[in-house]
Structure 1
Amino acid sequence: MKVLCVLYPDPVEGYPITYARDSIPKIERYPDGFPTPTPKAIDFKPGELLGSVSGELGLRRFLEERGHTLVVTSDKDGPDSVFERELPDADVVISQPFWPAYLTKERIAKAKKLKLAITAGIGSDHYDLKAAMEAGITVAEITWCNSISVAEHAVMMILTLVRNYIPSYKWVVNGGWNIADCVSRSYDLEGMDVGVVGAGRIGRSVLKRLKPFDVKLHYTDQHRLPKEVEEELGVQFHPDVESLVRVCDVISIHCPLHAGTENLFNEKLISKMKRGSYIVNTARARICDRDAIVKALETGQLAGYAGDVWFPQPPPMNHPWRWMPNHAMTPHISGSTLSAQGRYAAGVREILECWLEGRPIRNEYLVVHEGKLAGVGAHSYKV
């Protein structure tokens, strides 16, 4: 069996030989009681850099001892890429949302042996799910593995925008002490109306973390939360995104990308938001219209935009989100902390163990199986 694994490049100064911390907390269950990945064994130390090429998700020894071939690359785009060359005889593809190997309909047609595509993380929209269903390919991801990681990042970004943190930091490193410049765009989050689009695992985790800030919480989702959960969080439900954005000062996006959410935040919807609102997007870039975001920041309709997701990934140097005003963009890093990497690497190992031994993959991990949406895929995606 040939496993083709696409991971992001190593650090520019080389693969780490030491780390900032000696250990990370051990987590055995997620907030809803769902157990963390349970492979029979792992060949890495949690807290190591596993998501880059040299980290190999800790898979090489496991696969090669069983007679399988592992190809690991970061070269994923274009007809001459390693991914393109190695794909035709690959049995398994592993990719990440952070450095996605786009498994298009055309690529799937070339991959005659491909039977399993694994997302090392959560969010499998970089795979053409309809084409995967038609080809009989199983698609799986590591549900919950980095949901809290992303939720923490989203809360950080909200505070970064509202408190005008990045410009204030820049004054310090540039040798200044320009308090008036720093605070002229700085506000308290307290008392603001904050809404989330999508109240799944990440969205609910964001609401939970924001509750102690004494804000007014709102959400919209195609699946309404149970009444007791709404009461516990003190959150108001909105039947559609338009009614949500009209009342909120801050919007945090946590819905999956599909035909119904692509370019959801376009110029028309953004015009219905309060002037000076903020958008945080740690879901998928194409949920927001690229040029509409730029225009809204330039006119002041938006006071700030923070995103952890781009299209394509990585974005070209001339991507306007690199240079637009009042942004707090990061590379797609929210779900790839060293803590999360240990979980998604273990989850990939668990899925491969099940696949090789003919055991069922956890239903919660499944996105596409036996020609249809399954597991987390049936809950999150539309085809």
Structure 2
Amino acid sequence: MVKVLAILYDGGRHAQEQPLLLGTTENALGLRPYCEKHGIELVVTSDKEGPNSEFAKHIVDADVLITTPFHPGYLTREYIEKAKNLKVAITAGVGSDHVDLNAANEKKITVAEVTGSNVVSVAEHVVMTILLLVRNYGPAHEQIVSGGWEVAAVAKAAWDLEGKVVGTLGAGRIGYRVLQRLKPFDCKELLYYDYAELPGDAAQQVGARRVEDLKEFLGQCDVVTLNCPLHEGTKGIINKETLSYFKKGAWLVNTARGALCVEQDVADALNSGQLAGYGGDVWYPQPAPANHPWRKALNPFSGGGNGMTPHYSGTTLDAQKRYADGAIKILDNWRNGKPQTPSDLIVENGEYATKAYGQRK
């Protein structure tokens, strides 16, 4: 019998009230009917920490691991070595950096994700966060909730997005959609930094210019948004040195992966005023510990500039339907010996399937 292990998050009463919360343990990505129909043993749990966790217990004989980027089961080399039967690791969503891909290749474990399932959701969240930071919305809202009314205290750090230079570090599926959504705001300029140049017609449609030098790119932007994959070449790319390249008072948005940033360096830049604001919803690890510095880091001038949320940008109800259906499709393809959609594959047969992740070699 095939055994599927799904590491998800508990929705509690919210999952009961909203059955479209498919990423929860209660609703289990819609896997239960499928597994019952095909005689598959399904284990669903949120218990993923430590040697005595359900994750540690069941990974030993699971054939398939399914998890999400929002509450990931970290498939480390140690776990892969214990997983004697594991054939497929499926990410219900986008981003498989919670898997040790080198170790997966060595064991010829297929790693696949539901490419494109949440690109619109994340791109919208990026634009929302940019506006929240640039307009100094957080402190203004908190002032109202607390009963205050001091316009000057919030207006002193509120700006228009029009006329600003905005750049995306990474111009793939999400980064490009961010540029599309920013075009109507009449920014002074839209920039992108990426290992590959956008096709001429695509760049022309959004009016974006490529900057090939990272220092030059960061130094020109009023707003920087991170939309690149996490791999060995990008881990910690935003650090004390690169933050010094930013314009003083620039804004940084990160909905890609928390480990793209050195957490304390970003907090220090916000606390010192080098950054006017930092926003996004990705952390490392996830869930973020209560003492994570990004929870309380503030810009001293505005008294705000913190636009962090729990990782939900790519898990809207619309996106959950897409990545739940996609995860079942990947599982079904594997069961029936059908080829996977090429764009969904991260590694297969001991080889990297995408150039971005291949940079981990």
Give the TM bin, normalised by the shorter chain: over 0.9
Distance 1:334 1:49 in 2: 14
Structure 1 SS opposite 2:44: strand
Q: Give the equivalent residue in structure 2 for 1:74.
A: 46
Distance 1:114 1:380 in 2: 21
Point out where structure 2 has 5 or more consecutive residues left out of the alignment: 299-304
How far did 1:379 drift? 4.1
Q: Give the equivalent residue in structure 2 for 1:257.
A: 230
Q: What amino acid is aligned across from residue 365 of structure 1 in structure 2? A: D
Point out where structure 1 has 5 or more consecutive residues left out of the alignment: 20-46
CA contact (8 A) 1:309 1:332 kept: yes
How far did 1:8 drift? 1.1
Q: Give the equivalent residue in structure 2 for 1:122.
A: 94
Distance 1:304 1:364 in 2: 34
How far did 1:301 drift? 0.6
TM-score (norm 1): 0.90
Distance 2:118 2:39 in 1: 31
The one-character-per-residue Cα deviations of 1:66-91 (angstroms, maximum 9, x if unpaired) are 11100000111111111001110000
Please give the residue correspondences for 1:1-383 in structure 2 after superposition, counting only pairs within 5 Å: 1-11=2-12, 13-17=13-17, 19=18, 48-215=20-187, 216-325=189-298, 326-374=305-353, 377-383=354-360
For these two proteins, the number of residue pairs brought into alignment is 352
Structure 2 SS opposite 1:280: strand
How far did 1:380 drift? 4.2
Distance 2:196 2:209 in 1: 14
The one-character-per-residue Cα deviations of 1:233-288 (angstroms, maximum 9, x if unpaired) are 11111013211111100000001111111111111111111100000001111111
Structure 2 SS opposite 1:59: helix
Distance 2:358 2:156 in 1: 42
CA contact (8 A) 2:133 2:251 kept: yes
Structure 2 SS opposite 1:353: helix
Q: What amino acid is aligned across from residue 48 of structure 1 in structure 2? A: L
RMSD, matched Cα: 1.1
Q: What amino acid is aligned across from residue 112 of structure 2 in structure 1? A: A
The one-character-per-residue Cα deviations of 1:292-341 (angstroms, maximum 9, x if unpaired) are 10111111110000021001111111111111102110111000000000
Distance 1:260 1:315 in 2: 23
How far did 1:14 drift? 4.5
Q: What amino acid is aligned across from residue 328 of structure 2 in structure 1? A: R
Taking a change above 3 Å as real, the CA distance of residues 234 and 48 of structure 1, as seen in their structure-2 partners, is: same
Q: Give the equivalent residue in structure 2 for 1:28.
A: none
Distance 1:58 1:228 in 2: 40
Taking a change above 3 Å as real, the CA distance of residues 15 and 230 of structure 1, as seen in their structure-2 partners, is: closer
Structure 2 SS opposite 1:258: coil
How far did 1:228 drift? 1.8
Distance 2:229 2:358 in 1: 7
Query: Taking every aligned residue pair, what percent have the same amino acid on both sides?
Result: 49
Q: What amino acid is aligned across from residue 276 of structure 1 in structure 2? A: G
Structure 2 SS opposite 1:328: strand
Distance 2:287 2:143 in 1: 29
Distance 1:382 1:289 in 2: 20
Distance 1:234 1:205 in 2: 13
Distance 1:360 1:258 in 2: 26
The more displaced of 234-243 and 101-110 is: 234-243
Structure 1 SS opposite 2:4: strand
Q: What amino acid is aligned across from residue 186 of structure 1 in structure 2? A: A
The one-character-per-residue Cα deviations of 1:141-183 (angstroms, maximum 9, x if unpaired) are 0000001100000100000000011111111111122211121
CA contact (8 A) 2:229 2:356 kept: no
The more displaced of 189-198 and 172-181 is: 172-181
Q: What amino acid is aligned across from residue 15 of structure 2 in structure 1? A: Y
